[in-house]
Amino acid sequence: MRVFQTIVASVAVAFTALPALANQTPIADVQRGTMVTVTGVVDRILDEDEFRLRDGTGALRVYVGPNWVPADIGEQVTVEGYMDNDIIFPELYARQLTRADGSVVEFSHRYE
């Protein structure tokens, strides 16, 4: 019984360390002009402040400027932000990025 309790406690700790998945949006379902939370793998670094995020449903551009991309190709991340209305190159303007280890990077988009 003690082993079972230890396993249950370990699983509970593991799940509490994960970001909330209830409000996750598959990339294919992201709507322009909305706040979204998406999880995927960094597929490609497009520029110093932009990368492509891919999940099993599609891919999208994520803008973190004027900051540097804080993740590596192949890394799984969760990004919260605003999906812009651009017709040609729609981008997710990231407000927060959570890495697989639980560390959080906040972004402040300041333009002068």
pLDDT, tens digit, 9 for 90 and up, residues 41-50: 999 999 999 9
Task: Kindly state the tokens that stand for 55.
Answer: 């999940």
Asked which of 10-24, 27-41, 93-107 is least confident by mean pLDDT, the reply is 10-24
For residue 20, give the amino acid letter. Answer: A
Residue 73 half-sphere exposure, CB side, CA atoms within 13 Å? 6
pTM: 0.77
